[in-house]
Amino acid sequence: MDTAWMAKGNCRDVDPSVFFPSDGVGVEVAKQVCVGCPMRSPCLEYALRNRIDHGVWGGASERERRRIARQRRLSAAAPTGAGSATKDR
């Protein structure tokens, strides 16, 4: 996966340890760096696709990324076209 977007993020000049906090306050500090970042979306997608389970990526904490991934799995597994299963009966 292309990582050229990393050089364009608000985080490029920030100590990487900021994005791997040990407490909730640190998570909020890291998220503030992501606010308004033009690379927020590709950063989040990178973390989700690579199943990165540590740190703040794309403005999302570990817990938030797990929730996003779970919601995407559930949406992908959900049947499409309500009532289509009984249509031919």
Tens of pLDDT, residues 13-54 = 999 999 999 999 999 999 999 999 999 999 999 999 999 999
Rounded (10°) angle between helices 62-77 and 40-49? 70
Alpha-carbon distance of 88 to 46, in angstroms, equals 42
Q: For residue 88, what pLDDT band results from cuts at 50, 70 and 90? A: very low
Phi, psi of 77 (to 5 degrees): -85, -15
In this prediction the pTM is 0.82
What are the residue ranges spanned by the domains of the chain?
4-70
Section 58-75 average pLDDT: 96
* Host H or E run for residue 28: helix 24-34
Alpha-carbon distance of 65 to 71, in angstroms, equals 10
